[in-house]
Amino acid sequence: MNPSTTQARVIVDELVRNGVRHVVLCPGSRNAPLSFALHQAEQKGLLTVHVRIDERSGGFLALGLAKTGEPAVVTCTSGTAVANLHPAVVEAQLTNVPLIALTADRPVDLYRTGSSQTINQHDLLGIPTLHMPEAADEPTTRSLICRAIATDGPTHVNVPFRPPLTPDDTDWPSSDRGPWTLTDRTFSVETRPSDLPARTLVLLGDDRPERLRKAALLGWPVIAEPTAPGGLRHGSLLLNAGLPAYLQPDAVLVVGRVTLSRGQQALLRDARFVHAVGDQAQWPDTQFTASRASTWLPEPAEHDGEWLQAWQSAVKNVGVAVDDLLDTVAWPTGLHVARDLTQAMPSGAMLFVGSSNPIRDVDYVGERRPDVTVHANRGAAGIDGSVSTAIGLALNHQGSAYALMGDLTFLHDSNGLLADRQPDLTIVVLNDDGGGIFSLLEQGAPEHDQSFERIFGTPHGTDMAALCAGYRIPHSKVDDQDQLRSALARPHGLRVVEVQAKRGELRTLHQRLKATVSNILSR
């Protein structure tokens, strides 16, 4: 048996021993030894292989598979194929997702020789990198794979292979023993007594689920971004409208990265005291106002029941007013779709929400469902790879799965529809023919009307039905609320539900929304 085949089989076997169940394979020549070994392992029922022709989509598919906390692997050939994994790796790094980039490389003696598909892949992805020695012996290979599995967050394993790259026998190294080195990847959350005041407001962002769940139960009012558990519905709307004096906190506890709301940032900028909770040097502090940072959660010394009740009452009154406002606005808008989707999903469902407007729409008006799991790529908060991430999450979810994203986000990763394994996933695309998010920012102000459509609105006119037909993915277009609910009730296979909306009145609607909330809070 040739050295490349031997090493590849040992790598794959050690991945299996460490509990890896999913590997995304992007075909190539230099990673042929891994491809053959992965196919052989799948034939033996040891793991599941997902084949993708686009490394960027493949990386995000693996990211989605790994978001549940189980390590997932994406493997590709050498050269620019490795560089295309970088967007998914960045997202994994910022959100501590155990994604393993297993890349094939050319032997180092071919560097700087002009050899085809040869670049310097050492530390290319900017994450902890394990450089596997060429034709390394079994103990070295197995030990390095165990180190990759044990690393917190994403890891890059770079393996040089020398021809021959195809197997010359059918041997398999598997045995009944467990990992070469047994590692403990569990994460615990410590709480400590604190002197935070009774009127402390908690902001929950993107962080470790264990810490977020415990923080939601501290007993203070909680404003949680959609991916975090708990939280008061419409809480971000209150912050965006500006808190009246009777709701102002004496301190703010921030757990995880909060990035969605400008109201959040204004609150943190003006807060009297901010306690930020995060991992080591990565505590959340976007306004540079943290008075204290820790990896542990503070325990309340006391609560202000009257203040908590005032928060709950304000949120309830705002919710009624917002629902009444939306009922006076012609369907659909992004706010309508976010509200209707989050209300209609069955218990136990999973929802992936794309960046830009959809995640904010869910944050503003989405139903808070403790029986539904919400995911989003909020590390770098980009729109890339969303279709593939949603598919990866759905493949690992037992139950109905949904995704909500805008048209540009959908088009950016339409390659993700080319899936060899299709989950039960309904992708709801709010198609307003361009960049709706910019309508709500400074560049969407009336004084920029002459340039807006050309450089920000960017209408594309894509025929979504024709695009989906090209990928042989079922597509339907819904025109009213009842049609949307009916479409959501049939979560079988991978399919796209398109909702066409207009951007023209978006800025005005959000101004009315803010005014409505301000009016309720001032009473």
Longest dimension (CA), the chain: 80
Q: What is the pTM of this model?
A: 0.94
Question: What 3-state class would DSSP assign to 519?
Answer: helix
Cβ within 8 Å of residue 142, ≥6 positions away: 10, 14, 180, 181
Provide CATH 3.40.50.1220 ranges for the chain. 191-313
Strand partners, 100: 73, 155
Tell the CATH topology of 3-160. Answer: Rossmann fold (3.40.50)
Q: Are strands 494-500 and 292-294 parallel, antiparallel or unpaired?
A: unpaired
Place of tokens 């049609």: 483
Q: Where in the chain is the domain with CATH 3.40.50.970?
A: 3-160, 329-521
Token code pair at residue 487: 């479409």
Residue 69 sits at φ, ψ, to 5 deg, of 105, -10
Q: Do residues 247 and 304 lie in contact, with contact meaning Cβ atoms separated by under 8 Å?
A: no
Q: How far apart are the first and last CA of the chain?
A: 80
Torsion of CA 389, 94, 235, 291, to 10 degrees: 180
Instruction: Calculate the alpha carbon distances from 438 to 32, 378, 445 in Å.
Output: 44, 18, 9
Q: What's residue 491's pLDDT? A: 67
Supply 39's token pair.
């196919």
What number of CA atoms fall less than 13 Å from residue 325's CA on the CB side?
A: 22
Residue 456 per-residue DSSP state: I
The DSSP symbol for 455 reads I
The Cα 291–Cα 155 span in angstroms is 33
Bridge partners, residue 192, by sequence: 298
Q: Each residue's pLDDT tens digit in the chain (523 positions)?
A: 899 999 999 999 999 999 999 999 999 999 999 999 999 999 999 999 999 999 999 999 999 999 989 999 999 999 999 999 999 999 999 999 999 999 999 888 777 777 778 888 988 999 999 999 999 999 999 999 999 999 989 999 999 999 999 998 888 887 678 999 987 766 778 999 999 999 999 999 998 889 999 999 999 999 999 999 888 888 889 999 999 999 999 999 999 999 888 899 999 999 999 999 988 667 889 899 999 999 999 999 899 999 999 999 999 999 999 999 999 999 999 999 999 999 999 999 999 999 999 999 999 999 999 999 999 999 999 999 999 999 999 999 998 999 999 999 999 999 999 988 889 999 999 999 999 888 888 888 888 888 888 889 899 999 999 999 999 999 999 999 999 999 998 768 999 999 999 998 899 999 999 999 999 998 7
**Strands laid side by side in the 475-478 sheet:** 373-375, 350-353, 401-406, 425-431, 494-500, 475-478
- If you search the block for the tokens 């045995």, which residue do you land on? 175
Of the candidates 201, 216, 191, the residue with the CA atom closest to the CA atom of residue 304: 201
191-313: which CATH topology?
Rossmann fold (3.40.50)
Spatial distance between the Cα atoms of 320 and 317, rounded to a whole number of angstroms:
5
DSSP string, 94-132: HHT--EEEEEEE--GGGTTTT-TT----TTTTSS-EEEP
The CA distance from 506 to 333, in Å, is 8
CB 222 within 8 A of CB 301: no
Of 26, 108, 14, 99, whose CA–CA distance to 64 is shortest? 99
Q: What is the pLDDT of residue 340?
A: 96
Q: Which residues pair with 497 in a beta bridge?
A: 428, 476
**What is the model's pLDDT at position 175?**
67
Domain 329-521 superfamily per CATH:
Thiamin diphosphate (ThDP)-binding fold, Pyr/PP domains (3.40.50.970)
Distance, CA of 275 to CA of 229 (rounded, Å): 19
Could you give the angle at which helices 305-327 and 506-521 cross, rounded to 10 degrees? Answer: 140
Q: What is the 3-state secondary structure (H, E, C) of 361-384?
A: HHHHHCCCCCCCEEECCCCCCCCC
* 251-255 β-sheet, strand order: 222-224, 200-204, 251-255, 274-277, 292-294
Structure tokens at 103: 């890349």
* pLDDT at residue 138, rounded to an integer: 94
